[in-house]
Structure 1
Amino acid sequence: MEQLPDLAPLAAVAKTLAGEWGLELGMPFSATRYSYVVPAGADAVLKLRPAEDDESEEEADALALWDGDGAVRLLRRDDARRAILLERVRPGSDLSTLPEDEATARAVEIGPRLWRPAGASFRWIGDHVPRWLDNAESEPGRALVPLARRLSAELDVGRAVLVHGDFHHHNLLAAGSGYVAIDPKPMLGEPEFDVAPFLWNPLSSRMRLDVTERRLAAFAAAGLDEGRMRAWAVIRGAYLQTDACALAVIRALV
């Protein structure tokens, strides 16, 4: 069973920061499991990450780079205490509430705003893929690992742009008349890397080949390389997916 972090120490830090920054904290958001995320007044959200969360290590740096264009705006940060203050997104509903084709169209619009050049201060996905696949040897997706290793070896993994890292329906929220991304796990990579989790979300749906093909076609029409999207779906599916139906669809993509 997956071990979730103890958020009580983070709640204590949040209380201290609220006093220092003059924030009035509400009740934590019920959907958060890995970080402590709480309303801070009417227009802001305070987020604290546990020490063991290294995937979001450069979250504040990415949000600062995006500066509210395609992603939630960063208001304040305290790197030593792994805390960020964010602009609150309203109305805040995510893409899973939209019809299929509209949700995909919105994602296709948001992605290019995030995929922009960034410096070497961000980690490169190519340094981490081997470890991710090694860890997948004991996971439900292990049957995909040999194919994933071959595809990974054939890719000259890009490092030109910043990727979100967890780009899917539940991390793309309505903000006024548009949508913005939240909760990035940023690294240097290539846009095609980001499409994979969008293919097997939202959580309430079952992955289907026909729907997946339509999503891939929409991103390809926007300029992404379809072959690389398919390869990354297999590579990332090998270590991220646990659903047998989704794994079968992913295997059928190449």
Structure 2
Amino acid sequence: MADSIHETFPAEWQISSPELFVETHTSRIIMVRLADGTPAVIKALNETGMREELRGVHYLDWHDGNGSIRVLAEKGNLLLLEHAGNRTLLDHLNEHGDDAATAIAVDVLLKLLANNGQSKSFAPDLRPLREQYASLFKKAEIDRNNGDASIFVEAAGIADTLLSNPVDVQPLHGDVHHENILLGDRGWLVIDPQGLLGDPMYDAANMFYNPLERQDLRASDQRVATMALTFSRAFNRDIRTILGYAMSHAALSASWHTEDENFEEAELSLGVARAVQRVMASLG
């Protein structure tokens, strides 16, 4: 695919063998080789990417390779990134099961959590979680005004309480899932962060919502209960907090799909929220 490459790369990067991997709404992903033959990734950001993805770059810079890929260089709209590997956590789940995949996710999240003790300042452009939840609050307000005590209303109330009482505020990935955790030479690392700021249990919550194609797992009360207990023990956090973020995140996703009039996906997201809701109710 060399003829698909129209970017000009900085000479000092000394990259070779560029090959277009994929083009998204924010960037072109190009696989390259460094001077020593090591694989790397160039992300060529478009205008949308320059607006939306630089927060993620600042997230990666803050972690400096501890649990995440490294930003090797940056120039203009071009990012030179560490290659995380070719094996995803979804591959591991498919071969070894959900519990084994969850255990790896816990290890990765613990590495990311540990980086908050280094007294490093946060980038000012990281998106606060309350801003992230804007669509859920909007949908809940519409339902309340219509006299509908919907699951969106309940989830928004839970989210408001959690966001008003955050713990261990730090940069968040914002989209931790099985295809954004990859295995390479340095072990399991996260890629493609959104760059949020808030309670790290929001990142844990996204694991309940994934893998997207496994509704049998996502909407399973038993899986929700098992994962919540695992996370509560691993992160030393109250299980209701973890479930609260899990439920509100699933409802937030449903609100995004509702805005897009993708009602089928919205209902699948609500299936996850309802499973978490049932587990929360079972706690008494």
**TM-score, length basis structure 2:** 0.73
Q: Does 1:39 align with 2:46?
A: no
The structure with the greater share of residues assigned to helix is 2
| Of 274, 277, 283, the match for 1:251 | 274
* CA-CA distance at 1:157 after TM superposition: 4.5
- 1:114-125 to 2 correspondences below 5 Å: 114-115=112-113, 116-117=115-116, 118-119=121-122, 121=124, 122-125=126-129
Residues 164-173 or 95-104, more deviating: 95-104
Unaligned runs of 5+ in 2: 143-148, 255-264, 278-284
Partner of 1:134: 138
Deviations 1:101-144 (A, max 9, x none): 11100000011222343525233212332345427889xxx953
Unaligned runs of 5+ in 1: 1-9
Deviations 1:22-77 (A, max 9, x none): 43353322485643111022421001333334443312221112111100121001
Are the aligned partners of 2:140 and 2:153 in contact in 1 as well (CA < 8 Å)?
A: no
Between the two proteins, what is the percent identity of the paired residues? Answer: 26
Distance 2:8 2:165 in 1: 42
**TM-score, length basis structure 1:** 0.80
Are the aligned partners of 2:136 and 2:152 in contact in 1 as well (CA < 8 Å)?
A: no
Partner of 1:173: 182
Higher relative contact order (CA 8 A, sep 6+): 1
Partner of 1:84: 79
Secondary structure in structure 1 of the residue aligned to 2:73: strand
* CA-CA distance at 1:149 after TM superposition: 1.8
Partner of 1:145: 152
Partner of 1:93: 87
Distance change (3 Å), C-alpha of 1:67 and 1:219: same
Alpha-carbon RMSD across the aligned residues, in angstroms, is 2.9
Q: Which amino acid aligns with 2:122?
A: G
Deviations 1:162-221 (A, max 9, x none): 211101111000023720000011221111111222112123311222122211111111
Q: Which amino acid aligns with 1:113?
A: K
Distance 1:186 1:135 in 2: 24
Distance 1:36 1:249 in 2: 32
Distance 2:57 2:48 in 1: 16
